[in-house]
Structure 1
Amino acid sequence: MAVGASGFIGTRFCRRMQQNPTLKFSIIDKASSNAFPELCKIADVRNLDTLRSTIEENSIIVNLAAEHRDDVRPLSLYDDVNVGGAKNICVVAREKNVNTIVFTSSVAVYGFAPVGTDESGTINPFNDYGRTKYEAEQVFRSWQAEAPETRTLIVIRPTVVFGEQNRGNVYNLLKQISTGRFLMIGHGNNRKSMAYVENITAFIEYALTNFKPGAHTYNYIDKPDFTMNVLLSTVNRILGKSEKIKFRMPFWLGFGIGKIFDLIAAITGKRFAVSSIRIKKFCSNTVFGTSIEKLDFKAPVPISEALERTVRHEFIESHGNENVFYTE
């Protein structure tokens, strides 16, 4: 049962599952799946009764449901969906004899973490998203600990996920580069861990059948990590543009401009693409380690190829009016 699988990662995961005849799947989401409407059952993780009517006996649950945008209002939605949803899923899992849950959490649980932070890193979220993701992890851990010899929990903490048809932060960055509107803030030597959607769905598929009972936690990152300078020059090369960076705005100036937008947003209630937290995130090192490299899992698509596939799909090729996913 793929909960919250009508979205970006979920749709790619279900496409992958279609290719595996040994694994039957269905989608549970509050919105119907555009790609797989015939396999979708409508339910909201905040509503226990709808989950009871859709989760099947003895199934495996992959929980992709989340409230995750930077601008969620009211803030209580983070708790209602991420934590309350986890509690409801565990209630139904107990009732339906579910023994395996895969939960997609986030590296946001670490906050502004030291470079190379792995699964043993200090939990220090800086926002409600990271906080509630970690609290949801604890809910699932409590469920697993009730029957440690028979229940399996796999917690996957992805870094920022990108890929074709996504309209999140990475897409916005790539679009700015492609249109010539990108402005480098800071020195550009800061590195960014990223994850390609096809690779993370491959790891979710791997997790369904390759772990024994217990609680397992993995960061998901596709290596190597790009610096912002390398990312910019690589995308420009794919687009056939000059790889030279012509102008840089000092961090202090960019951060100050972000603060001005924060103030305007607070006064007017409007949402802006520019904010101080986004400037800070952009200029920070966001580099994580992962113990996945100790497993026999191999990502199907190298990160350099994944970036090229995405840039070509979105900014060079034509794909008509295909469905896209708006996430951050």
Structure 2
Amino acid sequence: MNVDIVGGSGFIGTRLSRRLSQAETIRFSIIDKAPSALFPERVKIADVRSIDSLRATVTADSVVVHLAAEHRDDVRPLSLYDEVNVQGAKNLCVVAREKGVKTIVFTSTVAVYGFAPIGTDESGMIAPFNDYGRTKYEAELAFKAWQAEAPSIRTLVIVRPTVVFGEQNRGNVFNLLRQIASGRFVMVGDGKNRKSMAYVENIAAFLEFAITLKPGVHIYNYIDKPDFTMNNLVGTVNRMLGKSAAIGFRLPFVVGFMIGKVFDLAAAITGRRFAISSIRVKKFCANSVYNTALETSGFLPPVSLSDALERTVRHEFIESHDHEGVFYTE
């Protein structure tokens, strides 16, 4: 089996590549606009915005895993969301038709649901609140149109992960863990809100599993259960670091949100990016809890969520890994 990982030089793609490199029956290539630190010999340079570059790199009759996306909160210009996420998906569909691709695995996002009710599953209402969620859903529609052209022979797997974390990632979860580890963490709100999370190794394992699914459209939220409350998450991390699990000073949400607005203004004036923003405070204090039909697929995640958190904390804040590269995401 030939597998093309579009966007494979990134955080999830590197983990998936590592898994596929150990599979004797799979040959894989990475298609990305950036080189891969771990598998440079596997990379074919291409940009999903250029249909010609995709034509030159996608392998005939391959399985395509599509990971490339614009995803940060502060992408500028905003048109990049449409150019990369939507037009990139449409370009890939054109090339898939030309190359005889019969299976596409697409990583979308739970952001397609917007501020979703607690327990939203794959049947939840599509109501994105930002350009990222909107364009990811429009990409889903493009891939569904591709699959519908030959439904008896084409396989489309849409994976909607929640927030992803793991070793070497420099996204929102890492920023939270770093604040806790530094001792400078301040809880905003009562900490009773719950967060669904997804460990990168488990997502990579599911993507590997997904490439074997039969023709049809398969949609799965990717969530590693059980969900943590913010209080439980902070207390668990503190215990892993040998600290007290008790949480001291708490900042009311309104105060935290106004501080975020101050940083928004500073970012607008200076053009700089700050770790604090009003939308990040809002996300931090909101419930973000999803359900998933993963158990119906037959897939079993290889790492429990508690073990995944311990692995990440140990790797980032207890052991030394200064020689390893990192990935910057949201």
What is the TM-score with the length of structure 1 in the denominator?
0.98
Q: Which residue of 2 aligns with 1:82?
A: 85
Partner residue, 2:198:
195
- The residue identity in structure 2 corresponding to 1:283 is C
Partner Cα distance (2:77, 2:230) in 1: 33
1:216 corresponds in structure 2 to: 218
Distance in 1, Cα, partners of 2:127 & 2:94: 28
CA distance in 2, matches of 1:92, 1:146: 14
Counterpart for residue 273 of structure 1: 275
Q: In the alignment, does 2:31 pair up with 1:28?
A: yes
Structure 2 partner of 1:248: 250
Partner SS state of residue 185, structure 2: coil
Given the alignment, which residue of 176, 181, 189 partners 1:178?
Answer: 181
Query: 2:129 and 2:276 mapped to 1: Cα distance?
Result: 18
Taking only aligned residues, the RMSD between alpha carbons, in angstroms, comes to 0.8
Deviation at 1:258, TM superposition (A): 1.2
The residue aligned with 1:19 is 22
CA offsets 1:87-134 (integer angstroms, 9 cap, x no match):
110000000000100000000000110000000001111111000000
Residue-by-residue CA offset, 1:292-325 (whole Å, 9 max, x unaligned): 1122110000000000000000000011321110
* Count of residues in correspondence between the two structures: 327
C-alpha deviation, 1:63, in angstroms: 0.2
Counterpart CA distance in 2 for 1:320 and 1:275 is 29
* Cα distance in 1 between the residues matched to 2:261 and 2:326: 31
Shift of 1:257: 1.3
Structure 1, gaps ≥5 residues long: none
- Pick from 294, 300, 303: which aligns with 1:301? 303
1:5 to 8, 31, 40: 8
Q: CA deviation at 1:262?
A: 1.8
Name the SS for the 2:28 alignment partner: coil
**Residue deviations 1:142-168, cap 9 Å, x none?**
000111111110000000000000001
Distance 1:197 1:265 in 2: 30
Q: Distance in 1 between matches of 2:184 and 2:73?
A: 22
Question: Which secondary structure state, in structure 1, belongs to the residue aligned with residue 239 of structure 2?
Answer: helix
Counterpart residue identity of residue 308, structure 2: A
Displacement of 1:269 after TM fit?
Answer: 2.6
Secondary structure at 1:54 match in 2: coil
Paired residue for 1:259, among 255, 258, 261?
261
Q: Quick one: distance in 2 between partners of 1:270 and 1:308?
A: 33
Distance 2:42 2:63 in 1: 16
Any idea what SS the aligned residue of 2:125 has?
Answer: coil
Classify the secondary structure of the residue corresponding to 2:226: strand
User: Which letter does structure 1 place at the counterpart of 2:166?
Assistant: G
Does residue 1:283 correspond to 2:303, yes or no?
A: no
Amino acid at match of 2:206: F
1:320 partnered with 2:322? yes
Give how far 1:260 is off. 2.0
Aligned to 2:73: 70
Q: How far apart are the structure 1 equivalents of 2:272 and 2:6?
A: 32
Distance in 1 (CA, whole Å) between partners of 2:277 and 2:179 is 16
Give the CA deviation at 1:58.
Answer: 0.5
Q: Give the whole-Å Cα distance in 2 for the aligned partners of 1:120 and 1:44.
A: 32
Taking the TM superposition and a 5 Å limit, the aligned residue runs for 1:53-64 are: 53-64=56-67
Q: How far, CA to CA, are the matches of 1:245 and 1:260 in structure 2?
A: 25
- Give, as a single letter, the amino acid of the residue that structure 1 aligns with 2:76: R
* Unmatched runs of 5 consecutive residues or more in structure 2: none
User: What secondary structure sits across from 2:211 in the alignment?
Assistant: helix
1:183-208 deviation per Cα after TM superposition (whole angstroms, max 9, x unaligned) = 10000000000000000010001101
